[in-house]
Amino acid sequence: MNWLYLGLISLVAFSTINILDRKFLGELKIHPVVFPAIATTIGTVFTFIFTLILVGLPDYIPAAVWKFGIISGIIDFFSASFFYYSLSKAPISKVIALDRIKIITSLIIAVVLFNEQFQWLWLPGVLLILLGNILLVKTREKWNKTWETGAMFMFIAGIIGGFAIIPEKMGVQVGMPILIALLASATRSTGYLTTALIFHRQHFAHFWQHLKKFKWGSTLIFRSFCSASGWTAFYYALAFGLISKVTPLLQLRPVASVVLAIFFLGEKETKLRLFGTIIITLGALLIIL
Gap between the Cα atoms of 148 and 95, Å rounded: 9
CA-closest candidate to residue 234, choices 60, 23, 43: 43
Q: Cβ atoms within 10 A of the Cβ of 213, count?
A: 10
Positive/negative CA dihedral, 260, 264, 270, 271: positive
CA-closest candidate to residue 38, choices 13, 16, 60, 21: 21
Tens of pLDDT, residues 48-105: 999 999 989 888 888 999 999 999 999 999 988 887 777 677 766 667 667 777 888 8
CA-closest candidate to residue 132, choices 284, 286, 239: 284
**Side chain identity, residue 206:** H
Tens of pLDDT, residues 211-243: 888 888 898 999 999 999 999 999 999 999 999
For 41, residues 6+ apart whose C-beta sits below 8 A from its C-beta are 189, 192, 193
pTM: 0.85
In the chain, what's the furthest Cα-to-Cα distance? 58
Q: Which residue has the higher pLDDT, 36 or 186?
A: 186
Tens of pLDDT, residues 242-285: 999 998 888 787 777 777 766 666 666 667 777 877 888 888 88
Gap between the Cα atoms of 214 and 208, Å rounded: 12
For 224, residues 6+ apart whose C-beta sits below 8 A from its C-beta are 39, 40, 42, 43, 45, 46
Per-residue DSSP letter, 116: P
Helix or strand run (H / E) with residue 38:
helix 34-54
Residue 269 has a pLDDT of 64
